[in-house]
Amino acid sequence: MAPLAGVERFSRAVFLASGADEATADAATRAMLHASRLGVDSHGIRLLDHYVTAIAGGRVNGRPTLRFEEDGGAVCRLNADHAHGALATYRAMDRAIELADRFGIGAVSIRDSSHFGAAGAYALHAAGRGFIGLAVCNSDSFVRLHDGASRFHGTNPIAFGVPVSGDNPWLLDMATSAIPYNRVKLYESLARPLPEGTASDAHGIDTTHPSEAEMLAPLGAAFGFKGAGLAGLVEILSAVLSGMTLSFDILPMGGPDMATPRGLGAFVLAMKPGAFVPEETFNAGMARYLEGLRTSPARAGTQVLAPGDREWQVAALRDRDGIPLDPATLQAFHRFAERHGIPLPFEE
């Protein structure tokens, strides 16, 4: 286990030593540690090696100039200049919050972005400031359609965060695939089998071997048309609305081309609860909803949890004990430490 503060320091130092500016180093590190802290290890600090490779190769602009375009009202567009996805999306959500504070709702379409990691980081950013937040992004094609036998959509995540007075936010963060692609890579590193019905080989036949996974199944198992439909919703908001590349035309995340920007689209939305109902009414409604949810009868040996509850439990443990580093990530850390002369996070 590595202490959170040490990993944060190490990650920022590696980004800066690799040519990124401070804004990129801060945003990318913040997004990865959000995931690692909450137990979403597939999108956590293990991505540091990939991000540094993408910046070094030229795929991601480590020193971008972000430009907002507004025509008035509650809608805005962000040209991200091929920035790291976390930098672009945090900035976009900040602008969406500013618009929502003025108009009750604010929406920002993002173009020329890149992989942004765990979408929940940006929805949570809004919720932490008292706004309801939505964040979606498409990605390269890796998910088959329901009854399909070839890649079509990306994992196309949806995240929704809601502030809760006196408590942690309600936080939904989900891929529209049965599992995210990065979990396949994590399980491969850990030599663990995939859950049944979550991935297929090159012929569309289900497999539990990470090394054989050529595509993922859409969320929903026998009702996978629902997951495929949600992936389409994300595709429209992220790519069509921004004029960016559709999932099946995006260059693969894993390369081999690490020089050509992938031109990802994304979309964020912020809403001010007090613009719809008095804040005390909203707070009382959320409190009543969560009380009813958490005290709802559970099946034997189980516990009913609200979206985000499991993550907050994991965060409390990792704040105390640190975060795990899978073997591939640990190797990358040692490589960066030797290359740049940066102390490892567990050697401080």
List the domain boundaries for the chain. Answer: 4-275
Q: How far apart are CA 308 and CA 100, in angstroms?
A: 24
185 pLDDT band, cuts 50/70/90, is: confident
Task: Tell me which residue of 243, 197, 244, 245 sits closest to 221, measured CA to CA.
Answer: 197
Q: How far apart are CA 241 and CA 72, in angstroms?
A: 18
Strands 199-200, 215-216: parallel, antiparallel or unpaired by DSSP?
antiparallel
Alpha helices in 104-165 (DSSP H): 120-128
Q: How far apart are CA 206 and CA 200, in angstroms?
A: 4
Distance in Å from the first CA to the final CA of the chain? 13
Q: How far apart are CA 145 and CA 26, in angstroms?
A: 36
Q: For position 204, what pLDDT does the model report? A: 87
Phi, psi of 136 (to 5 degrees): -140, 155
Helix H, strand E, coil C: the string for 252-299 is: CCCCCCCCCCCCEEEEEEEECHHHCCCHHHHHHHHHHHHHHHHCCCCC
- Compute the radius of gyration of the chain from its Cα atoms: 20
User: Mean pLDDT, to the nearest integer, of 247-257?
Assistant: 94
Q: How far apart are CA 268 and CA 96, in angstroms?
A: 7
pTM of the model: 0.94
CATH class of 4-275: alpha beta
Q: Between 326 and 276, where is the model more confident?
A: 276
Q: How far apart are CA 81 and CA 92, in angstroms?
A: 13
Q: How far apart are CA 336 and CA 16, in angstroms?
A: 12
Q: Which residues contact 161 (CB under 8 A, 6 or more apart)?
A: 120, 123, 124, 125, 126, 127, 132, 133, 169, 170, 171, 172
Q: How far apart are CA 9 and CA 272, in angstroms?
A: 34
348 pLDDT band, cuts 50/70/90, is: low
Q: For position 176, what pLDDT does the model report? A: 96
> What amino acid occupies position 315?
A
Q: Between 91 and 185, where is the model more confident?
A: 91
* 8 A C-beta contact, residue 287 and residue 306: no
Q: For position 180, what pLDDT does the model report? A: 81
Alpha helices in 60-111 (DSSP H): 85-103
347 pLDDT band, cuts 50/70/90, is: low
Q: Which residues contact 6 (CB under 8 A, 6 or more apart)?
A: 322, 344, 345, 346, 348
Q: How far apart are CA 9 and CA 12, in angstroms?
A: 5
59 pLDDT band, cuts 50/70/90, is: very high
Q: How far apart are CA 5 and CA 37, in angstroms?
A: 11
pLDDT tens for 195-231 read 999 999 998 899 999 999 999 999 998 899 999 999 9
Q: Is pLDDT of 42 > 90?
A: no
Q: Is pLDDT of 342 > 60?
A: yes
